[in-house]
């Protein structure tokens, strides 16, 4: 009798495995599409940030004459 049950359950098991495989394949395709979208967005962001970085380095040279560091340091000194 147990061998008969195994034979009867085999098609059900195969059907369930096929359904799970189909669900997995759909999920993999969705994840691959999402990955492609994120890679595209990252490339756009990277391209957009390059000019900003170049502008910061080239257009804003360090100017020591405008530093207020010494004024701030003296302001926060405690009297002796």
40-66 tens-digit pLDDT:
999 999 988 876 666 666 655 555 555
Of the given ranges (7-16, 33-42, 46-55, 66-75), which has the lowest mean pLDDT? 66-75
Secondary structure of residue 59 in the 3-state scheme: helix
Q: Which residues have CB under 8 Å from 1's CB, separation 6+?
A: none
Its pTM surpasses 0.85: no
């Amino acid at each position: 009798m147990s061998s008969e049950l195994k034979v009867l359950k085999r098609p059900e098991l195969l059907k369930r495995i096929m359904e799970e495989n189909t669900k997995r394949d759909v999920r993999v395709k969705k994840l691959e599409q999402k990955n492609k979208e994120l890679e595209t967005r990252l490339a756009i962001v990277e391209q957009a940030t390059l000019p900003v970085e170049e502008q910061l380095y080239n257009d804003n040279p360090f100017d020591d004459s405008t530093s207020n560091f010494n004024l701030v340091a003296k302001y926060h000194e405690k009297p002796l």
